[in-house]
Chain A
Amino acid sequence: MASRYVRLLGVQLRSASLLALQYRGDFLVEGVISAFWTLTAMVPLFVVYGERQAIAGWSFAEALLVVGWFTLLQGILEGAITPSLNSVVEHIRKGTLDFVLLKPADAQFLVSTTGFEPWRATNVLTGIAIFVYAFHLLGRGPSIPGLFASLVLLVTSTLLLYSMWILTVSAAFFVVKVDNLTYFFQSIFDAARWPSAVFKGPLAFVFTFIIPLALMTTFPAEAMLGRLSLRALVTAVVGSLAFAFISRRVWLRSIGHYTSASS
């Protein structure tokens, strides 16, 4: 069973990369645009830190680590998660989701692996470059156990992002016109660019418990700095697993609600 899914994933990946390679010009353009995006996205950071040495206890270099994680996760989100789930929205609108549901494999697996945008890998490289620069500014290296913790957090953050996307897409079954659900999600995720300590009051509550952005970028950055407690790490793992479980339940329910376009 498992080997069948691994093989299926291989097939899907191969077809996605062939599709991507079809438009070679795009490759370069997308890379340039992606770098441009990252640079301009950092303008608010420069403006903010032009005013102050530290904000909510985070210095410029430390905040850069958060931005690095944000950039890296954005690459994963836009390269591996968004493209395939956008196609679900398209399927729902056109009524072609029936064909996916009829296939003899898990529908969530199928819809999650249909699209990849390999050039988004540039974001991962940009993220790493930002890490290097930030630690250069800090004048020290990352803590070694912290690095391992941040790798664990990379897995949990990806799982969280993916689950949140599944939840957003499940909403597409109930809302008719959904093109801008993508924008909705991306604009929420945008808040993850800043250390979570910045947010106070209701926003802090939302970003910790309802949409766990703090867990995705602030925790890994703190881990790299070697100041993340073991308890926080365990919470992150347990929390993301719980989130994944809930999103799976919701997805199954939404599929149950789905009435095909033709009937």
Chain B
Amino acid sequence: MSMRTTFRALPALMRVGFAEALAYRAELLVWVLSTTMPFIMMALWTAVARDAPVGTYGQAGFVGYFLATFVVRQLTGAWAAWQINYEVRQGTLAMRLLRPISPLWTYATENLGAVPMRVMVAVPVAVISVLLVGPQAVPQHWWGWPLLLVSLLGGWLITFLANVCIGTMALYMESSQKVMNVWLVLFFVFSGYMFPVAITPPWMHSLGNWLPFRYQIGLPVEVMTGVHSLPETLKLIGWQWLWALVLGAFSLALWRRGLRRFAAYGG
């Protein structure tokens, strides 16, 4: 199928994704409730900062940071790995392959279709953050806003493409669930989800800069709370999109090769 017809199908697919998110809104709510880690971490770190600030983060700093983390996690979420893994094992991937459009596009639009619903959760939290912390909870300079959007999109791309990579591994082994668990552990440690990268020991900080995880959550959060200068932000966004590119190429190659091995069970 040509690229042109694929792009013409995208708006319809997005509508389907949105309708699905609307239909399963209870599931979405459960998912939102299960991403409460930033609030727990906020309680913990504000307790740590009660006597004296940690690095550049005081109590208010941590409140702003973790509320931003919650917002970013809502907006950059992807669950294609579980989906692909499940569909490969159940054999229902065959159904998707019959359609004249790559399943990767439908996974992507299903994930993006949920964004409007997620915005409805994220925006009130961002507003609360501004009320609690003041205007420094959101970008201070005009350039911060477009770059926030760019970094959010980049963060979603990395999350989604990594999901595709790991989900596709189910075509090579029985189940890629365990690989996903390992990825998630590293994500929790290095992404800035549990603590700002800036306050970690130097070796962890520099290792984190090389790994993709920080660009999923940490970077958009840092852009939102405006801790970097413009050149620094641009440099980090460059790294982020480089990772997105690498993961994109890798996932596509993995997907193409894997499909040749796919034999639908019970097909």
Q: Which of A160-187 contact B (CB under 8 A)?
A: 175-181, 183-184, 186-187
How many A-B pairs have beta carbons closer than 8 Å: the answer is 84
B40 touches A191 (CB 8 A): yes
A48 touches B48 (CB 8 A): yes
B47 touches A55 (CB 8 A): yes
**Contact bitstring A101-114, B, C-beta under 8 A = 1, else 0:** 00000000000000
Residues of chain B with a CB closer than 8 A to A209's CB: none
Residues of chain A with a CB closer than 8 A to B51's CB: 52
Q: From A43, A47, A184, A199, name the one whose CB has the most chain B CB atoms within 10 angstroms.
A: A47
A47 touches B200 (CB 8 A): yes
B30 touches A184 (CB 8 A): yes
User: Interface size of A by Cβ–Cβ distance < 8 Å?
Assistant: 35
Is B194 an interface position by the 8 A CB rule?
yes
Q: Which of B1-48 contact A (CB under 8 A)?
A: 24, 26-27, 30-31, 33-37, 39-41, 43-45, 47-48
Is A252 an interface position by the 8 A CB rule?
no
A28 CB, nearest partner CB in chain B, Å? 12
Q: How large is the interface on B (under 10, 10 to 19, 20 to 34, 35 or more residues)?
A: 20 to 34
Nearest B residue to A188 via CB reads: B36
Contact of B30 among A175, A199, A203 (CB under 8 A): A175
Q: How far is the CA of A187 from the CA of B35 in the complex (A)?
A: 7
**Stretch from B177-185, B240-248, B253-261 contacting the other chain:** B177-185
B44 touches A48 (CB 8 A): yes
**Stretch from A14-22, A29-37, A131-139, A226-234 contacting the other chain:** A29-37
B44 touches A187 (CB 8 A): no
A70 CB, nearest partner CB in chain B, Å? 13
Nearest A residue to B181 via CB reads: A33
Q: Chain A contact residues: over half helix, strand or loop, or mixed?
A: helix
Q: Chain B contact residues: over half helix, strand or loop, or mixed?
A: helix
With A40-B185, A178-B30 already in contact, the answer to whether A47 and B199 are too (CB < 8 A) is yes
Is A140 an interface position by the 8 A CB rule?
no
B188 touches A47 (CB 8 A): no
Is A194 an interface position by the 8 A CB rule?
yes
Q: How far is the CA of A160 from the CA of B110 in the complex (A)?
A: 38
B182 touches A203 (CB 8 A): no
Residues of chain B with a CB closer than 8 A to A41's CB: 185
Q: Which of B35-87 contact A (CB under 8 A)?
A: 35-37, 39-41, 43-45, 47-48, 51, 54, 82
B243 CB, nearest partner CB in chain A, Å? 21
A248 CB, nearest partner CB in chain B, Å? 23
Q: How far is the CA of A40 from the CA of B189 in the complex (A)?
A: 7
User: Which 8 A-B residue pairs are closest in the complex by CB-CB distance?
Assistant: A184-B34, A177-B27, A183-B34, A187-B34, A191-B40, A198-B47, A175-B26, A40-B185
Task: Offer 22 A-B interface pairs, CB within 8 angstroms, sorted by A.
Answer: A29-B178, A40-B185, A40-B189, A41-B185, A44-B41, A48-B195, A51-B48, A51-B54, A55-B44, A175-B27, A175-B30, A177-B26, A179-B82, A180-B34, A184-B33, A187-B34, A187-B36, A194-B40, A194-B44, A198-B47, A199-B47, A203-B43
List residues of chain A with CB under 8 Å of any chain B CB: 29, 33, 36-37, 40-41, 43-44, 47-48, 50-52, 55-56, 175-181, 183-184, 186-188, 190-191, 194, 198-201, 203
List residues of chain B with CB under 8 Å of any chain A CB: 24, 26-27, 30-31, 33-37, 39-41, 43-45, 47-48, 51, 54, 82, 178, 181-182, 185-186, 188-189, 194-195, 199-201
